[in-house]
A and B are shown apart, each in its own frame.
Chain A
Amino acid sequence: MASVTFDAVTKRYGDVVAVDSLDLEIVDGEFMVLLGPSGCGKTTALRMIAGLEDISDGTLRIGDRVVNDVDPARRDISMVFQSYALYPHMTVQRNIESPLLARHYHLDGPDQPARKLTSAERAERVAEAARVLDLEPYLKRKPAALSGGQRQRVALARAFVGRPQAFLMDEPLSNLDAKLRAQTRIELVDLHRRVGTTVVYVTHDQVEAMTMATRVAVMSMGKLQQVGTPQDVYAKPINTFVAQFIGTPPMNCVDAAIAADGTAVDLGAAGRLPLPAGLQARPAAGAPVVLGVRPEHLTLDPAGSLTAVVRAVEWLGHECLIAADLDDRLVTLRQAGMAILEPGAEVKVAVDAADVHLFDAETTERLT
């Protein structure tokens, strides 16, 4: 097991900067999720760890070793690809065995020279991986004869069998159907708990990030936005990008202004909200800000300080989503059960001051 450290790592393709001076330490044994929309640089970052992309600038370490120029096969990592990248002409058994055939391993202690595994050792490792991932009945089959979920487990077994210092996973669940994806999420977390190996996991799906990660690194346009536990990132997003990327439906972020007396957020005809506690600096009266409130924190309450006009109600069974206007600012409210409301109806909405997020209107950075 090992840590993975990015120290001002940059990747350029010609004039395009795919990863911009990334500083990130992935701690030994943690499940780190790199999260962001497509094109944000997360996959490039992962491929740099794997050695499949050269590093333009900066230093990348696995454990204490600088690996910028180390051959991919000698980095002691393994990778699960989005397409699984199984060898279609080989049986499941050969697929799993594959990394053991060509690579050298430090089997006799770190001071002894690395060597290849004997066939008995290989057989033992393959059997173990097949048992852990429930693949024993399929060892003689070829990948084409397996279901998507089984193929995915073969890819995991191939990554697992070499007992690498870190697993790299590039959107491994994106080809599975929703039900299987939910099930595999739990299995992956369970596998990580059992083997304890560092995992670097790339996804654009914030549900995967929230459910599996020890910590999440949110990226956008090649830049790291925020690193933290899923709870931290959800509760204290550092800017409006992170605020709106995490959570479904996303956080409501609407234009507002600091009231003339400087003690509240002014939403025009919709009303006022008290300023949240812990503001780093009190914004000037009348300053434009972005108000952020999560849909579940906007509650229908006859004593609420805001007035909203209902546009539509979507019933999802266990809850409903109410689209409403706060003086022409469209927001979403999430309510348990079913709200019987007609479009056009005026309702009172309450927000706890602790649930109010304020962002700078210009820089989009968090003010609280």
Chain B
Amino acid sequence: MNGAGEEIVVDVMGVAQRFDGRRIFENVSLSVRRGEVFAILGGSGCGKSTLLRQIVGLQVPSAGAITVLGRAMPRERGLVRSAIGVMFQSGALFGSMTLLENVMLPLEMHTDLPPEGRAAVARVKLGLVGLRDAALRLPAEISGGMVKRAAIARALALDPPLLFLDEPSAGLDPITSAGLDRLILDLRRDLGITFVVVTHELESILAVADRCIMLDAAAGGVIATGDPRRLRDDSTEPTVRAFFHRQAP
């Protein structure tokens, strides 16, 4: 299902995270190839979102090293800022701005496009996520699924080759969630974007992910890695089986 190349765009090498001496995870390694959809899975509290924050440079790992597009994170975060887009779990849209203004903001900050150019590009991005007609609405006036899609449009504003999505399907109904999955695949096909998706939504994982790693809070690190469909069918690890077959371990 993927058109991934061999170029490594995200390389995580033996990272760990501790808070006040408490271990969240340790010795986590992964590599993401250009053009693939890579999922970070696991139950609540296993450190999925923390790992994502480390990768995008928002959090300094307690140990290990991370490179994104060949740049060391978080030290060289500024050099890849416009090459990566991040969609946060809540969407994190600015409530006082319309969707159009939200998407225009990165263009205003990082390009010399004139206002009408910014608006045109932003409308195209909103069109890509199916929100063209909601451009002038405020985040508070749209549904949760639309907020997530608008957040993806904002993350796409600068045409980043690499997009990070934190729980894109969380709190959404199955139909909206499936629509988001389709959007991810469409964007990958049309724009060649590489996706790193943090999620615990089983249907989404199986629908979009080419490869995945699975974190476990009890194990304090990675317990499985590979094609999610093969993990579902072949894994003998109890937590992995429980996750994919919706059973208590």
* A and B physically associate: no
